[in-house]
Structure 1
Amino acid sequence: MTGTKTKSATPARDRILETAKRLFYRNGIRATGIDTIIAEAGVAKMSFYNNFPSKDDLVRAFLAARHEAWMAAFTDRVEEHIEARGLAALAFALDEWFAEPDFRGCAFINTVAEFGQEFEGAMRHKVELEEYVQGIANRLGLSAPERVAGEAMIVIEGAIVRAQMGFREGLRDQAVSLLQWVERGARG
């Protein structure tokens, strides 16, 4: 035995959620039907509904899992650059994410575009991201860390949307320039 889990050895809930994470992010939530998720996850319909009584329950689980994974990857990337680059570390971390082959924008922005503010998890992600950026501003000794975080979030969100639209040429350098401008303003 190799120790590798097969579909049948992986719990149905995990298979459903992994499939939903991939399909919701790639195709959108509304465009991804429950039957498609059930088929690709290799589970019975009853198994699906035993784990997720509704599609909304699955969407909430998707957003929570995506938040946890995305924040862990993003903060790791930022921390690799923060000492040398200050607030501009955010742009370098984003640029690494944009280069991933499956990049399709922000799952949380995409969810709000599809549903408005119906799913609190999408809004909560943005609040927690801004709190993280505010913590960076505090660590860097910048004045008015709340303002710095708000301005940095505009740069972050704008860069994400531009990257999703395919405008990646020079995007990292533009975001770096704007974040350095925000940082200089908070040091002066």
Structure 2
Amino acid sequence: MDSTVATGRALDAAEELFYRQGVQTVGMDDIRAVSGVSLKRLYQLFPAKERLVEAYLERRDVRWRERLAEHVEQHEDPERRVVAVFDQLGEWFGEPGFNGCAWINSYGELGATSEPVARQVRLHKAAFKEYVANLVARAGLPADLGEHVFLLAEGAMVSAAITGSTAPAAHAAEATRLLIAAHRR
């Protein structure tokens, strides 16, 4: 099995297991069993579990943000794009197996003890915040509104994970509409 295939299988297994069960409960042997990549090969690719967690978060970040942008950019109206963030979040919250934000979960498990994992979480959150800020700027809204919308999105993610409901996305979308309307007045 070549390196690219083995890496892909390992990351697929890591994403499935880490997201569903948590990082600390999943061992490299579990990754081996699901991926079909030998333990020796896993450790050649990822010399430490921490490196596998980093790679999982990096890859998930790219996929997650691409999916968000693909949904948001379907809308032509710049203000609608800001609210569309929450439409996408609501779809995600309703997916079978939704288990909250992978970065918040990973930070909760390892952020205090793993600087590489904490760094990946900070990078993801900074990129998401920048994306939201750019949407807000393109809509001609004040910059501080980007911070508010970002925090509404983050709160919706946590609330949806805890409640098992898609409602936090709808509530955050409505709060965003109210903020935009208040600005426009």
State whether TM-score is above 0.5: yes
In the other structure, the counterpart of 1:4 is none
Following superposition, which runs of at least 4 residues in structure 1 exceed 3 angstroms of deviation? 185-188
1:175 aligns with 2:169: no
Which residue of 49, 53, 77 maps to 2:71? 77
Is the counterpart of residue 113 in structure 1 residue 108 in structure 2?
yes
- Unaligned 5+ segments in structure 2 are none
Following superposition, the deviation at residue 81 of structure 1 comes to 4.0
User: In the alignment, which residue of structure 2 is the partner of 1:139?
Assistant: 138
Name the residue aligned to 2:39. Answer: 45
CA displacement at 1:175 relative to structure 2: 1.3
Give yes or no for the alignment of 1:184 onto 2:178: no
Moved more, 51-60 or 111-120: 111-120
Structure-2 separation of matches of 1:123 and 1:87: 22
AA paired with 1:104? N
Residue 168 of structure 1: how far off its partner (Å) = 2.1
Structure 2: distance between partners of 1:78 and 1:137: 12
Structure 2 match to 1:66: 60
Q: Once the 2 structures are TM-superposed, how far is the Cα of residue 102 of structure 1 from its aligned partner?
A: 2.1
In structure 2, relative to structure 1, the CA distance for the partners of 1:170 and 1:60 (3 Å cut) is: closer
How many angstroms apart in 2 are the aligned matches of 1:182 and 1:33? 45
Alignment correspondent of 1:161: 158
The 2-side partners of 1:169 and 1:77 are apart by: 17
Letter in 2 for 1:23: L
* Residue in structure 2 matched with residue 152 of structure 1 by the alignment: 149
Contact 1:81 1:92 in 2 (8 A): no
Q: CA RMSD in A?
A: 1.9
**Equivalent of 2:95 in 75, 78, 100:** 100
Distance in 2 (alpha carbons) for counterparts of 1:102 and 1:82: 31
- 1:11-63 C-alpha deviation (Å, 9 max, x unpaired): 21211111001111111111111111011111211111111111011011001
Q: TM-score, normalised by structure 1?
A: 0.87
Residue 179 of structure 1, CA deviation? 0.6
Q: Distance in 2 between matches of 1:187 and 1:124?
A: 32
Q: Distance in 1 between matches of 2:26 and 2:164?
A: 27
- What runs of 5+ residues in structure 1 fail to find an aligned partner? 1-7
